[in-house]
C-alpha cells in the first residue's frame, strides 16, 4: 500500500521450535551471565515453567527470558504440554476467541474489501466510487492523512481531479450505501504518520476523525498505519507502551462515538504482526489488535511487500504462495507465541486475507488468482487442495472466515476486475448470506441538553449544561461553534479555545446515543472578554501597539501554523520570530506567551530588543572572535572527558587544550543523577576543586577545577556553547528511578535550574541516557559501570523528562539554554524506548551515536563507525546490515520527527578491536571470526574482555608500524588496520573518512558532527582532526550541490524525483550497476545502467520507501526514494 515505513524492520531468521513433554532434563534459569564466550548458543533453560533457548548473543546477569532482554532468548514451549510440532495452541479446532466482539449488522458472511484511490497515479485515474465493480462489499477510501502542522490531526478531502465538488463525492457514498455497501475512511498513506504522544494529541486525533466521518457519512474506519503511528514496539501487547495505549483509547472513543454498526478494519504489514512469533517484543500492531479486538470488524494483514516469516510449525513458506497465505492467516486464528506468552486467537469472522490485485500493485508478494482461491478454499472448507504443503491446525477449516482484501480497487479495475469476479463467484457458490440484519433498530432520539450556560474569557468560553436522557442511554454530546462542529464531550462540560477577544459567538450542543440518533440542538450566545491590552515584556515596559510605533512586519495570524524558522510577525507593538529550533507553531497561542516556539526580537519602533537575536535556544550560534563562519548552521560538537586529566592515554587533557577556535559546542562528560535524584558531578574534585591555571583561589566560593577553566575560556570564546552531559555508558544507573515519577523528575529538574543559575556561563544540558527502555545489568568487569536499569515505562517518562526540562527553562527565563540528547542509532534499542517523534519538539538538536556499532562484544570483526552500508556485511539481520551506519541513522531520525538541521552525526576518534583474527579470503581480516581480544590504551586495564580502544593518534602511528597494514572499505568509506602475524584487527576513523563524513553532512544538509572524544585528536600537534572539520564547515567554500567524485574516477550521479509516482530517473556519468531494496532489506531489482539518463518505472519497484544503491566497482552511493 501507499505507505511510509519510518522504521527499518529486520527479516527474522527461521527458528524451529518444539514443545517438550518434560522439563526435568533442562536446568532452571539462574541469575548469571549466559553465552559469555558464545559457547552456550542453543542451550535450553526453564523459567516460569516455560522452556527458553539461549540465542546467538551474550546475555548479561539478571536478564531472564521474560525481562526486557527477552529478545536474546528463543521461546520453545511450555513444560508438560506434550505434542510434536506446534505453537502451544490447540492441535485441532480453532483456538477460539475468548472475548465478545462487536457484530456489525447487515454484512455478508464473506466480504470482498478493496482500497479506492483518492489520488491519481496512472492506475485507472479518475475512477469514481459509483463506477466500482458491484462485487465489492467494503470500500476503503485512501487516505485520511495528517495535517502538515500537527501530526495528531487528520485531514481529508476528495481529490478535485476526480470529484469537482464534495457534494458529488458524498452523493456517491450514499448511493453505495443504498446498495448495502460500506464505505470506510482509511488512515495512512504517504502523509499518514500519526503522532499521538499525550492526552491532548489523542483528543485532537479523535475529534478530527469524528468530524471527517460525520461530514462525509463514512460507515467506519480503516487503520492502515505503519508501526510508529501504532505506537512502536512494546515489551507486552497486553500492557503496551503509553503511545500505543493512547492510540488504542482514541480509536475506541471513535468506535463508541458511532455505536455498534460502526466498522473497524485494520491493514497492518506482516512485520508488525506475524513477525512477532517467538520474539521477546511485541511488534507495533499486536497491541492495537489485542486492545481493540472487541471492536474489530475485520483484520486483513498485508501479505505482500514483505519477507517470509516463521509459521506455527517453525517453517517459512514462500511469499505469494497458497501455503504462505494460509500459514500466515492461521497464526491469527490459532494464536502464536510472543513476548513470553501467547498472542490469542481472533474469531474467524474477524480475519481476512490481504493480497495485491495484480502485477504492479505491489513490489513483491504478487499472488495468482489460482493460488488465492486455493488458499481461500482451504481456509473455509478444511479440504486441502492438491499441491499445497501446509496443513491446517484445524482440519475442519474456518467456515465463517471473513474473506479477502486487496490493494486496490483501481488496480483490480486495470486488470478487468479479475479478483473481484473470482471471489464474487466463489462466495456465491458456497453461499454468502447477509448476516445479523433482522434486529429492530433504535430510532428514538435523546432529549435536548438543557440549561446551556457559557462563561467567557478573553480567548475561550467554558460551556456547561444539564444532561440529556435517552431510552438506551446518552453516548455523548457534539459541540458546535456556529455551523461548525468543534468537538465532543462525554460529560456535561466543554471549553472552546482559540477564540478572539471581544467577539460574539453562538455555541450549540446536541446529544447522541449509541445508535447514532441525535437530539435537537440547544444554543447559547456569548461574547468573549476584552483584550487585557498592554503587557510588560522583554523589550521594556508595557503598552499597546501604538506605544511602540508602527509595525512593518505582518500581524500574527492566530489561525496559522507558522512553519518557517526565523519568520517574523508583529503582535501588540512587538516583533517576534519563529525559533530556529521549531518547524511549526501552535495556532491560537500568541507569541508573547508561547515562548517555547517564538523569540521576542524588539519593539516595532526598534527599541527594547534582546542583546543579539542569536543563542541556540533559538539555535543560531553566536559569532566568535576567531573568524569561524557559522552561516551554514553546522555544529562541531566535542565531548570533553573529565577523567582525561588523570590519564596519559587521554593526554592528561585540560580545558585549555581544547581547540576553542575550531569547535562550536562542548559537552562536558559526565555529570550524573545522584541517589537523591539531583544533578551532581561524577568527580567534584577534578571539576570544582583541583587547581588549574585559571582557578580563582582557595577562599570559600572561589571557583576551581575544570569549571574555572571553562569560565575563563568562555569569556574569550563567548560563541562556543558549553553543555553538561549527564549519564553516559557508566553513569546512567539512576535515570530510570528518577524519571519514574513526576515528583522525582521535579527534584532533578529543579537541581538543573539551580546549577545553571549558579554557573550562568553554562549553556545547557545534554541527556545521555543509555538507554531508555533497556534494562542493562552492571558490568562485573568494570566496577565503575553500575548498569542502567530500564523498563517499558521509560518510553513515556523519557519524553516527560525532556518536556518538563524545556518547560522549566522557559518558566525560569532560560529560553536560550540548550537541551540536547545523545541517541542510539540501533533501532532495536530505539523501539524499546521513546519514538524520536515524541520528543523532537523539546530539543535544540540530537547527537547520534553512530559509533560502537560493532566491537569485541561480538565475535566477528566489523566497522564500528561505518558511514554507509557494505552489501557484504555478514551481520545476521537486514536491520544491522542496512542501518548500522551514519547514513541510514540520519535518514531514520529525519523520517521520525527531526529536521535535518537538528541531526548531528557521530564520529569516533578511537578504535574498536579484536584479537585472534584470521586473515580470511581477502587477507585483510575484515568480517572474520575473532577468538581473542586486543587491549588498547583506552581500555580498562583490569577487564578480561578489552575492546581494542586506541585514540586516533595511536592508530595513526600503527599505520606505519611494521606488521600492520591499512585498508579502506570502499563501501562503508572507513579504514581498518590488520596485523596478520599477530591476528589483530582495528576499526577506526581517519582523516579521509572524517572528511567523507563531513561531506555527507554538508551534501545532505544535516546539522553537524559530534565526536567521541576530543582527546583522541592529536592536540599536541595542531589538532589535525579538528582542523579537518573546521576547514570543511567554516573555512572552505561550501558546496552548492552534491559531488560524488572519487580520487580515481569521477562518479557523479543523481536520482529524481522524490517522491516518485511514474518513474525514477537516474543520471550518471559512467556505466554502473544498481540494486533496489525495500526497507526490510529485500532486494527488489538489480540491473546495469549506462552513462547518461536511465529510467526505472515505478511499477518495477512497487510503492513504498526504496533504497537505491548505485555501484561502479570503486564506489557506492545510497539514495532513499519514496515511490507512490
Dihedral angle of Cα 466, 472, 476, 480, to the nearest 10 degrees: -80
Residue of higher predicted confidence among 1010 and 1047: 1010
Residue 38 placed within a domain: yes
Does 278 share its domain with 134?
yes
The tally of domains found in the chain comes to 6
| 931-967: pLDDT as tens digits | 989 988 888 766 778 889 999 999 999 999 999 999 9
Residue 601 placed within a domain: yes
Does 48 share its domain with 125?
no
Does 835 share its domain with 703?
yes
Residue of higher predicted confidence among 1080 and 44: 44
Residue 458: pLDDT band with limits 50, 70, 90? confident
SS3 552: coil
Cell of residue 311, nine digits: 509459521
Does 507 share its domain with 546?
no
Q: Does the structure show a pLDDT above 70 at 621?
A: no
Does 72 share its domain with 216?
no
Residue 541: pLDDT band with limits 50, 70, 90? very low
Does 157 share its domain with 289?
yes
Instruction: Dump the DSSP string for 470-533.
Output: -SS-EEEEEEEETTEEEEEESSSEEEE-S--TT-EEEEEEEEEETT--BPPPEEEEEEPPPP--
Q: Does the structure show a pLDDT above 50 at 11?
A: no
Q: Does the structure show a pLDDT above 80 at 530?
A: no
Q: Would you call the peptide bond into 408 cis, given omega within 30 degrees of 0 as the criterion?
A: yes
Residue 502 placed within a domain: yes
Distance CA 130, CA 731 (A): 64
Select, from the ranges 68-77, 343-352, 539-548, the one with the highest average predicted confidence (pLDDT): 343-352
Residue 594 placed within a domain: yes
The pLDDT value recorded for residue 12 is: 27
Q: Apex CA 270: angle with CA 265 and CA 273, to 5°? A: 70
Residue 942 placed within a domain: no
The pLDDT value recorded for residue 499 is: 81
The pLDDT value recorded for residue 33 is: 79
Does 190 share its domain with 236?
yes
The pLDDT value recorded for residue 232 is: 57
The pLDDT value recorded for residue 36 is: 62
| Mean pLDDT, range 658-674, rounded to an integer | 94
SS3 1086: strand
Last residue of a domain, one of 63, 78, 93: 78
Model confidence pTM above 0.75? no
Residue 1021 placed within a domain: yes
Q: Is 616 a catalytic residue?
A: no
The pLDDT value recorded for residue 619 is: 30
The pLDDT value recorded for residue 88 is: 33
- Rounded (10°) angle between helices 794-811 and 242-258: 90
| 879-931: pLDDT as tens digits | 888 899 999 999 999 988 899 999 999 999 999 999 999 999 999 999 999 99
Query: Nearest to residue 87, comparing CAs of 244, 274, 349?
Result: 274
Does 513 share its domain with 560?
no
Q: Which of 66, 145, 226, 770 is catalytic?
A: 226
User: Which CATH number covers residue 832?
Assistant: 3.20.20.80
Q: DSSP class of residue 21? A: S
The pLDDT value recorded for residue 314 is: 82
Contact criterion met (CB below 8 Å) for 358 and 412: yes
Residue 130: pLDDT band with limits 50, 70, 90? very high
Q: Does the structure show a pLDDT above 90 at 537?
A: no
| 783-825: pLDDT as tens digits | 567 778 888 899 999 999 999 999 999 999 899 899 999 999 9
Mean pLDDT score of the chain: 82
Does 52 share its domain with 164?
no
Distance CA 1086, CA 871 (A): 13
Beta strands in 290-410, from DSSP E residues, in sequence order: 298-302, 336-338, 341-343, 351-356, 403-407
The pLDDT value recorded for residue 630 is: 41
Q: In whole angstroms, how far apart are CA 335 and each of 312, 355, 382?
A: 9, 21, 18
C-alpha torsion sign, points 104, 108, 113, 119: negative
Instruction: Dump the DSSP string for 156-172.
Output: ----TTT-S-HHHHHHH
SS3 206: helix
User: Which CATH number covers residue 605?
Assistant: 2.10.10
Does 730 share its domain with 775?
yes
Contact criterion met (CB below 8 Å) for 588 and 598: no
Residue of higher predicted confidence among 1050 and 586: 586
Q: How far is CA 1017 from the centre of its chain?
A: 34
Does 357 share its domain with 258?
yes
In this structure, the number of other CB atoms found within 10 A of the CB of residue 1049 comes to: 12
Helix ranges restricted to H, 179-292: 199-216, 242-258, 284-291
In this structure, the number of other CB atoms found within 10 A of the CB of residue 684 comes to: 11
Residue 865 placed within a domain: no
Domain that holds residue 609: 541-613
Give Dmax (Cα) for the chain: 96
| 61-114: pLDDT as tens digits | 667 776 656 657 777 777 764 333 333 333 333 444 557 888 899 899 999 999
Residue of higher predicted confidence among 1033 and 487: 1033
Q: In whole angstroms, how far apart are CA 777 and each of 350, 789, 926, 949?
A: 42, 7, 30, 22
Last residue of a domain, one of 979, 1007, 1035: 1035
Does 1019 share its domain with 895?
yes
Residue 869 placed within a domain: no
- Rounded (10°) angle between helices 418-430 and 369-381: 20
Percent of the chain with pLDDT strictly greater than 90: 44
Query: Nearest to residue 195, comparing CAs of 838, 786, 814?
Result: 838
Amino acid at each position: 500500500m501507499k505507505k511510509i515505513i519510518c522504521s527499518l524492520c529486520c527479516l527474522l531468521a527461521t527458528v524451529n521450535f518444539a514443545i517438550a513433554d518434560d522439563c526435568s532434563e533442562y536446568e532452571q534459569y539462574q541469575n548469571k551471565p549466559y553465552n559469555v564466550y558464545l559457547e552456550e548458543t542453543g542451550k535450553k533453560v526453564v523459567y516460569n515453567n516455560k522452556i527458553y533457548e539461549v540465542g546467538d548473543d551474550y546475555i548479561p546477569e539478571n536478564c531472564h527470558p521474560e525481562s526486557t532482554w527477552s529478545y536474546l532468548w528463543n521461546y520453545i514451549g511450555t513444560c508438560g504440554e506434550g505434542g510434536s510440532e506446534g505453537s502451544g495452541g490447540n492441535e485441532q479446532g480453532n483456538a477460539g476467541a475468548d472475548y465478545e466482539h462487536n457484530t456489525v449488522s447487515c454484512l455478508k458472511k464473506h466480504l470482498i474489501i478493496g482500497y479506492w484511490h483518492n489520488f491519481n497515479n496512472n492506475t485507472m485515474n479518475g475512477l469514481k466510487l459509483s463506477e466500482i465493480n458491484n462485487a465489492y462489499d467494503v470500500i476503503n477510501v485512501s487516505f485520511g492523512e495528517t495535517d502538515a502542522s500537527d501530526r495528531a490531526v487528520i485531514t481529508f478531502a476528495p481529490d478535485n481531479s476526480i470529484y469537482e465538488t464534495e457534494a458529488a463525492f458524498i452523493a456517491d457514498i450514499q448511493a453505495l450505501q443504498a446498495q448495502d455497501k460500506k464505505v470506510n475512511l482509511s488512515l495512512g498513506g504517504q502523509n499518514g504518520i500519526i503522532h499521538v504522544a499525550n492526552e491532548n494529541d489523542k483528543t485532537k486525533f479523535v475529534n478530527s476523525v469524528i468530524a471527517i466521518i460525520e461530514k462525509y457519512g463514512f460507515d467506519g474506519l480503516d487503520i492502515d498505519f505503519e508501526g510508529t503511528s501504532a505506537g512502536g514496539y512494546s515489551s507486552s501487547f497486553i500492557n503496551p507502551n503509553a503511545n500505543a495505549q493512547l492510540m488504542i483509547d482514541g480509536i475506541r472513543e471513535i468506535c463508541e462515538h458511532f455505536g455498534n454498526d460502526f466498522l473497524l478494519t485494520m491493514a497492518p504489514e506482516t512485520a508488525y504482526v506475524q513477525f512477532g512469533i517467538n520474539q521477546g517484543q511485541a511488534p507495533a500492531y499486536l497491541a492495537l489488535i489485542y486492545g481493540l479486538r472487541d471492536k474489530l470488524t475485520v483484520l486483513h494483514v498485508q501479505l505482500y511487500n514483505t519477507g517470509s516469516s516463521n509459521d506455527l510449525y517453525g517453517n517459512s513458506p514462500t511469499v505469494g504462495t497458497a501455503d504462505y497465505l494460509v500459514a500466515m492467516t492461521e497464526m491469527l486464528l490459532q494464536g502464536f507465541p510472543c513476548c513470553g506468552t501467547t498472542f490469542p486467537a481472533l474469531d474467524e469472522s474477524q480475519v481476512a486475507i490481504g493480497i495485491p490485485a495484480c502485477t504492479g500493485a505491489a513490489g513483491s508478494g504478487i499472488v495468482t488468482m489460482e493460488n488465492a482461491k486455493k488458499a481461500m478454499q482451504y481456509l473455509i472448507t478444511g479440504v486441502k487442495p492438491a499441491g499445497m504443503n501446509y496443513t491446517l491446525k484445524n482440519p475442519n477449516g474456518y467456515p465463517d472466515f471473513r474473506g479477502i482484501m486487496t490493494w486496490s480497487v483501481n488496480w483490480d479495475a486495470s486488470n478487468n476486475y479479475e479478483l473481484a469476479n473470482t471471489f464474487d463467484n466463489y462466495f456465491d457458490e458456497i453461499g454468502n448470506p447477509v448476516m445479523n440484519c433482522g434486529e429492530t433498530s433504535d430510532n428514538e432520539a435523546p432529549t435536548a441538553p438543557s440549561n446551556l450556560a457559557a462563561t467567557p474569557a478573553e480567548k475561550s468560553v467554558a460551556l456547561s449544561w444539564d444532561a440529556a436522557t435517552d431510552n438506551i442511554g446518552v453516548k455523548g454530546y457534539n459541540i458546535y461553534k456556529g455551523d461548525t462542529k468543534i468537538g465532543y464531550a462525554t460529560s456535561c462540560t466543554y471549553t472552546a479555545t482559540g477564540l478572539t477577544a471581544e467577539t460574539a459567538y453562538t455555541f450549540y450542543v446536541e446529544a447522541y446515543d449509541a445508535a447514532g440518533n441525535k437530539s435537537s440542538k440547544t444554543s447559547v450566545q456569548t461574547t468573549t472578554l476584552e483584550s487585557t491590552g498592554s503587557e510588560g515584556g522583554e523589550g521594556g515596559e508595557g503598552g499597546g501597539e501604538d506605544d511602540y510605533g508602527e509595525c512593518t512586519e505582518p500581524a500574527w495570524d492566530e489561525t496559522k501554523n507558522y512553519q518557517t524558522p526565523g519568520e517574523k510577525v508583529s503582535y501588540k507593538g512587538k516583533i517576534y520570530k519563529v525559533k530556529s529550533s521549531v518547524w511549526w507553531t501552535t495556532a491560537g497561542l500568541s507569541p508573547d506567551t508561547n515562548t517555547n516556539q517564538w523569540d521576542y526580537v524588539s519593539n516595532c519602533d526598534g527599541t527594547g530588543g534582546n542583546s543579539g537575536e542569536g543563542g541556540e535556544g533559538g539555535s543560531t550560534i553566536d559569532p566568535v572572535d576567531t573568524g569561524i563562519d557559522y552561516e551554514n548552521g553546522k555544529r562541531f560538537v566535542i565531548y570533553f572527558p573529565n577523567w582525561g586529566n588523570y590519564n596519559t592515554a587521554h593526554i592528561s587533557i585540560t580545558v585549555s587544550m581544547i581547540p576553542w577556535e575550531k569547535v562550536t559546542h562542548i559537552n562536558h562528560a559526565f555529570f550524573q543523577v545522584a541517589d537523591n535524584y539531583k544533578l551532581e558531578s561524577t568527580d567534584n574534585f577534578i571539576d570544582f576543586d583541583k587547581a588549574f591555571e585559571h582557578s580563582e583561589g582557595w577562599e570559600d566560593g572561589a571557583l576551581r577545577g575544570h569549571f574555572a577553566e571553562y569560565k575563563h575560556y568562555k569569556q574569550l570564546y563567548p560563541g562556543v556553547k558549553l553543555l553538561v552531559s549527564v549519564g553516559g555508558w557508566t553513569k546512567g544507573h539512576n535515570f530510570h528511578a528518577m524519571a519514574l515519577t513526576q515528583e522525582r523528575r521535579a527534584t532533578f529538574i529543579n537541581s538543573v535550574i539551580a546549577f545553571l543559575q549558579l554557573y550562568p556561563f553554562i549553556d545547557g544540558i545534554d541527556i545521555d541516557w543509555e538507554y531508555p527502555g533497556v534494562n542493562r545489568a552492571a558490568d562485573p568487569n568494570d566496577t565503575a559501570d553500575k548498569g542502567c536499569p530500564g523498563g517499558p515505562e521509560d518510553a513515556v517518562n523519557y519524553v516527560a523528562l525532556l518536556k518538563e526540562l524545556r518547560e522549566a527553562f522557559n518558566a525560569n527565563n532560560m529560553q536560550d539554554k540548550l537541551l540536547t540528547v545523545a541517541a542510539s542509532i540501533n533501532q532495536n534499542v530505539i523501539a524499546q524506548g521513546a519514538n524520536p517523534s515524541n520528543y523532537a519538539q523539546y530539543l535544540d538538536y540530537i547527537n547520534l551515536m553512530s559509533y560502537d556499532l560493532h566491537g569485541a562484544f561480538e565475535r566477528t570483526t566489523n566497522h564500528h563507525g561505518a558511514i554507509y552500508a557494505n552489501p557484504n556485511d555478514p551481520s545476521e539481520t537486514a536491520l544491522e546490515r542496512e542501518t548500522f551506519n551514519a547514513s541510514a541513522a540520519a535518514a531514520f531520525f529525519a523520517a521520525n520527527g527531526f529536521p535535518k538541521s537538528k541531526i548531528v552525526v557521530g564520529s569516533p576518534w578511537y578504535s574498536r578491536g579484536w584479537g585472534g583474527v584470521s586473515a580470511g579470503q581477502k587477507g585483510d581480516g575484515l568480517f572474520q571470526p575473532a577468538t581473542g581480544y586486543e587491549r588498547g590504551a583506552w581500555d580498562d586495564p583490569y577487564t578480561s574482555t578489552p575492546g581494542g580502544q586506541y585514540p586516533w593518534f595511536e592508530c595513526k602511528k600503527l599505520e606505519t608500524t611494521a606488521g600492520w597494514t591499512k585498508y579502506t572499505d570502499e563501501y562503508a568509506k572507513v579504514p581498518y588496520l590488520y596485523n596478520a602475524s599477530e591476528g589483530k584487527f582495528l576499526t577506526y576513523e581517519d582523516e579521509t573518512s572524517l572528511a567523507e563524513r563531513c561531506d555527507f553532512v554538508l551534501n545532505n544538509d544535516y546539522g553537524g558532527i559530534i565526536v567521541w572524544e576530543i582527546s583522541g585528536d592529536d592536540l599536541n600537534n595542531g589538532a589535525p582532526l579538528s582542523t579537518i572539520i573546521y576547514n570543511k564547515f567554516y573555512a572552505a567554500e561550501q558546496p552548492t550541490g552534491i559531488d560524488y567524485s572519487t580520487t580515481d574516477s569521477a562518479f557523479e550521479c543523481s536520482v529524481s524525483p522524490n517522491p516518485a509516482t511514474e518513474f525514477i530517473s537516474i543520471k550518471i556519468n559512467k556505466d554502473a550497476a544498481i540494486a533496489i531494496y525495500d526497507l526490510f532489506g529485500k532486494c527488489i531489482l538489480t540491473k546495469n545502467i549506462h552513462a547518461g539518463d536511465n529510467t526505472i518505472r515505478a511499477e518495477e519497484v512497487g510503492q513504498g520507501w526504496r533504497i537505491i544503491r548505485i555501484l561502479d566497482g570503486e564506489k557506492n552511493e545510497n539514495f532513499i526514494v519514496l515511490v507512490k
